[in-house]
Chains A and B, each alone.
Chain A
Amino acid sequence: MSRPLVRAVGVARRYGDVVALAPTDVELVPGETVALVGPNGAGKSTLLALLAGALEPSEGAVDVQARVGWVPQRPAHYARLSARENLELFAQLEGVGEPRVAAQQLLDRFALPGEDRPSGELSVGNRQRLNVALSLLGEPQVLLLDEPTAALDPGQRRRVWDVVNALRGEGGAVCFATQNLEEIDHADRVLVLLDGRVVTSSPEEVFG
């Protein structure tokens, strides 16, 4: 079996007395796509943020052996900067060799507006596309996507799944959270979460 690109052992997150995620073990191996399914508040976003390193675990550890791209549930970019400026800024921070070129490529790939309009004024769909585009800076081997198609039109959804499938084909790993049961067809494996724990129930049982 391939060495995991991301491995979480007993990773948990608590906010005071509230358990957002009970100790959980997760592995992402090359060439696989994992779907996280569960109702609101099940712990999907928390688990993805922990795997992405955006959140510190209350206990347990996450071992990452690859470059990781993260698409948070809420678009995360500087609202006063344009889409291009956001891409260039984060490309620089990611240490991308030619930030301008990388930014332009992603603008073209996701059909994002290249003018100087602040990204905070973009439509919800465009902001989500920018959110996805930002996760691809630095050519990650692992993609962690938190409901990535929630605000996208069918064409843009297809584009996202193309990205996912391409990465998997190149030996990368993808983990995405969704509440759309149709999307689990894109996954090789499904993890069902309920009340902060991975359960053995089927997605249909969890959603009732």
Chain B
Amino acid sequence: MSPAGHPRVDTIAAEARAAIERTESSADLEALRVRFLGRQGELTQLLRSLGSLPADERPVVGAAANEAKRVLEALLESRLGEAAERERRRQRAQSRLDLTLPGRRPARGGIHPLTRVHDEIVSIFGGLGFSVAEGPEIETDYYNFEALNIPKDHPARDMQDTFYLSESALLRTHTSPVQIRTMQAAKGRTPLKLVVPGRVYRRDVPDASHSPVFHQVEGLAVDHGITMADLKGTLELFAREMFGPRSKIRFRPSFFPFTEPSAEVDVLCFLCGGAGCRVCKQSGWLEILGCGMVHPRVLENGGYDPEEVTGWAFGMGIDRITILKYGIDDIRLFLENDLRFLRQFA
């Protein structure tokens, strides 16, 4: 405050300043603003009464009063800020939050475990350059069997007990019919690299390890100069992606009418590392898929010349791999959809 003020201004200013500095609550501070700086306030009154002062005093008093008003306002703002902060703290202290109460969560959704594994398989092969193809679940005898080198009255049909809708229509027992459909659609084009995920059906009485409705992913490659060694390398890569970098696979001779040679593929049991456990039935290996070189007759049925190109194919059960991956002990859990089961994968 200006020492060269005016005695009346100084008196009011000193009084106001003392009052502001004494006062703690924001309400009382607001009252002081009214008392000193408000329309009827003491300093305002003084400024208003300048006209009654001698002319030579007016500028001095006026300047002093304005200065005092500015200073007091600044002080008041600062004190009000302090008071507001004090009061906010006091108020929060009174209504303390219990942060250990549960948060307000949105409802939790989730993806079915079969879908998760399906997506994983498709994406691994996508990374290897395999496109996705699909086909109908209600198939003809021709696509499901005949074109795949499984003639009528052949014991190979026992390998896949079939649901029929009519003499000629059936529920596909594997995704392999899409091999033929896609090859025919490709009209001899190479290379062909695709995976076919889908639902398949076999007339197996349901139990912990059999479901008449299950899911497969089929793979097919047709090109000039591809061999069984390429098939093996591709599946090794897949196994490492799917089951971990230390995964090992082995090929065992087998029989499928639509491949020659044919193989069953086992992956080293990822639970026991091959030492033998309950899941791998002490063998150290888990059977995960069947595969082979596309049978020349099947290539012909698909519109390719088996002297020109070779092909390989594989098929794996999504349900089976999901069971192995998550240690699920009953395949029926998948289609039952108990929420307590599904939530474990959400």
Bound together? no
Q: What residues of chain A have their CB less than 8 Å away from a CB belonging to chain B?
A: none
